[in-house]
Amino acid sequence: MTVAEATVKVLNKVGLHARPAVVFVKTARKFKSKVEICKEDECVDAKTLLKVLSLDVVYGDVITIKAEGEDAEEAVKTLVELVESKFGEE
């Protein structure tokens, strides 16, 4: 079982709320692997919108994206790139 993990800083102005969260969750759901997003010591299922929103990720927060499964490395890489692109908002 492949496990991948990366840490990334959220730099879009609204953080991981509303539209960016929907884009993040939809992207996470494309992968077969189990995907989690973590802020500080709290980790939630990255494929569940309400759980992602519950982390209250704001501008400047550092999040960790973890994945476990056959496409874990690709999932983490894709989600990190999404966050780094500021969800295409800016």
| Catalytic residue of the set 2, 8, 17, 69 | 17
Contact 55, 37 (CB under 8 A): yes
Q: Residue 63 catalytic?
A: no
Q: What is the CA angle 16-12-30, rounded to 5?
A: 50
CA distances, 29 to each of 18, 19, 41, 76 (Å): 17, 15, 23, 12
Residues that are catalytic: 17
